[in-house]
Amino acid sequence: MTNTETKEYKNTMKKTGSFKWTINRYGIFFLMLTPALVLLFVFNYLPLTGLLIAFKDYNLRDGIKGFFVGNWIGFEHFWYLRDAYFWRTVRNTFSITIYRMIVCFPLPIIMAVMLCELRSLKYRRVMQSLSYLPNFISWVIAAYMINSILALDTGIINVILTKLGLDQVYFMGSNKWFSTIVVVSAAWKGTGWGTIIYLAALSNISPELQEASVVDGASRFKRIWHVDLPCIRPTIVIVLILSMPQLINAGFEQIMPLQNPANMGASDILDIYVVRLGILQTKYSLSTAVSMVISLMNLSLVLLTNYVSRLLGEDGLF
């Protein structure tokens, strides 16, 4: 390349990277993004100013003005970090979420692989549709179904136990059974919907790799283990990183309809603790302080998981 061509190339690259060139070329796309960015700012970033009341003695009568002026008390609302009841809700939350992560995270991967192995395309579509259906049932309706199935005397499980000559079990009033009920219902409701991402990743695997493994004499299980799973490993890592905040979020909408006075020892989680403080007891500053700590824990989990994935050679989120 001559000097003249080099100068022309540099000038072209300089113009290409300029703000004016970017606006002229991609302005219509930025315009299309504007409504989404406005909604993101209004509903995700603007409410962050409400975190100020965690450091104030806020009263609802103060209105909007109370968010910004007067009644500063520093970190006094963070006394709950020494409260035994708070740490009981943390223990309940982690016992449910870790149990759910161990059971529910691999299920969509297994189901996606099994669906891809079905020879009949028609049967595969039927199975996919049936597995998606529970996702569209609200947790309120699902809780009613669970209570009906596990009820004493009239529930189908206890009816079967009675027919077999066994004692009935009060599932919904047992702290021992509560976590299992939550995890099994979460797996039933979310596994089918969770397969969508993995099915898309599996569909992008080159057929030549699979054909080569067959030619080399690999069995179906070995082909899945040595070809399919390694090819979708980046997708699995990304989903795992995005799933980390769920270790703090046990699921208010799922657990609240299942909670009753008999199972409070296992069902009292952080989400319900925050709602009880903020809505029922009108302790807005205290509930905001709890929510702030939960958000910081979520952020720490995402950053830690992303850092570990980068150490292991994966791309991560950033």
Residue 316 pLDDT: 66
44 pLDDT band, cuts 50/70/90, is confident
Residue 9 pLDDT: 47
With helix as H, strand as E and coil as C, how does the chain read?
CCHHHHHHHHHHHHHHCCHHHHHHHHHHHHHHHHHHHHHHHHHHHHHHHHHHHHHECCCHHHHHHHHCCCCECCCHHHHHHHCHHHHHHHHHHHHHHHHHHHHHCHHHHHHHHHHHCCCCHHHHHHHHHHHHHHHHCCHHHHHHHHHHHHCCCCCHHHHHHHHCCCCCCCHHHCHHHHHHHHHHHHHHHHHHHHHHHHHHHHHCCCHHHHHHHHHCCCCHHHHHHHHHHHHCHHHHHHHHHHHHHHHCCCCHHHHHHHCCHHHHHHHCCHHHHHHHHHHHCCCHHHHHHHHHHHHHHHHHHHHHHHHHHHHCCCCCCC
Question: What value does the mean pLDDT of the chain take?
Answer: 84
pTM for the whole structure: 0.81
Region 106-115 average pLDDT:
92
Region 37-56 average pLDDT:
87
Region 236-258 average pLDDT:
87
Region 198-227 average pLDDT:
84
Query: What CATH topology corresponds to 83-311?
Result: MetI-like fold (1.10.3720)
Residue 80 pLDDT: 81
Residue 124 pLDDT: 85
Region 122-148 average pLDDT:
90
Q: What percent of the chain has pLDDT over 70?
A: 91
Break the chain into its structural domains and give their ranges.
1-74, 83-311
Region 133-151 average pLDDT:
91
Region 79-88 average pLDDT:
85
Region 81-97 average pLDDT:
89
Residue 65 pLDDT: 67
Region 55-62 average pLDDT:
79
